[in-house]
């Protein structure tokens, strides 16, 4: 995992310290797919990602990550990899920030809630900062289906600190 540089790519917002509300406009390249559970008296089955989906980019691997309630796992981005996040248990708040220079949605923040009562898949394109916070006790489980294998020698993963950074997003709970 690369941590050498914690600066986000120059999006012209380095001096911006005010937090932006999540945009109603979708970040360019982000695809949200409603998932459907097929339920009967035995339980349910839910397809998460198919190779015949219009947004299918390829298959690298599948992994599961757990996040404890109140814990934030952020920020990171990839240069080449596309991620596909599905929360299969619990609830997470997924935040995205478009810091890609020249992107038509540069500077936008998106926020999504994924989980038991919100079965969606969010596809995150390369270059978009992303992270999530666990919102359900005691733990939430997230499956990622990236389009590329993790390269242990040269990881395509770059990190930015979750809280001390130039990303215009506040991870705290927003009551209202």
pTM of the model: 0.87
Mean pLDDT of 6-32: 62
Mean pLDDT of 110-137: 97
SS3 9: coil
Mean pLDDT of 110-133: 97
- For residue 103, the model assigns a pLDDT of 97
- For residue 24, the model assigns a pLDDT of 81
Which residue is listed with tokens 């979750």?
A: 162
Percent of the chain topping pLDDT 70: 88
- For residue 174, the model assigns a pLDDT of 85
Q: CA separation (Å) from 73 to 11, 65, 138, 144, 145?
A: 22, 10, 15, 14, 17
In terms of Cα–Cα distance, which of 17, 27, 176, 172 is closest to 103? Answer: 27
- For residue 20, the model assigns a pLDDT of 54
**Which stretch of 4-8, 77-81, 82-86 has the lowest confidence by average pLDDT?**
4-8
What is the overall mean pLDDT for the chain? Answer: 89
pLDDT greater than 80 at residue 7: no
- For residue 123, the model assigns a pLDDT of 98
Domains and CATH numbers, the chain: 31-159 (2.60.120.10)
- For residue 176, the model assigns a pLDDT of 80
The more confidently predicted of residues 8 and 109 is: 109
69 phi/psi in degrees, rounded to 5: -55, 135
- For residue 69, the model assigns a pLDDT of 98
Quote the strand ranges of 80-176, DSSP E.
83-89, 91-98, 109-115, 120-124, 128-134, 139-144, 158-159
pLDDT greater than 90 at residue 88: yes
């Amino acid at each position: 995992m690369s941590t050498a540089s914690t600066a986000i790519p120059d999006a012209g917002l380095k001096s911006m310290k005010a937090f932006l509300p999540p945009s109603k406009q979708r970040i360019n390249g982000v695809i949200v797919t409603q998932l459907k559970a097929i339920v009967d008296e035995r339980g349910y089955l839910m397809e998460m990602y198919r190779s015949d989906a219009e947004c299918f980019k390829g298959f690298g691997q599948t992994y599961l990550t757990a996040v404890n309630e109140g814990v934030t796992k952020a920020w990171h981005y990839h240069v080449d990899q596309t991620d596909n996040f599905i929360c299969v248990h619990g609830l997470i708040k997924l935040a995205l920030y478009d810091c890609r220079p020249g992107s038509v949605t540069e500077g936008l923040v998106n926020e999504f809630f994924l989980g038991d009562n919100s079965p969606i898949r969010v596809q995150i394109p390369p270059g978009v900062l992303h992270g999530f916070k666990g919102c359900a006790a005691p733990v939430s489980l997230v499956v990622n289906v990236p389009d590329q294998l993790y390269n242990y020698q040269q990881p395509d993963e770059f990190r930015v600190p979750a809280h001390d950074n130039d990303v215009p997003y506040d991870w705290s709970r927003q009551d209202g």
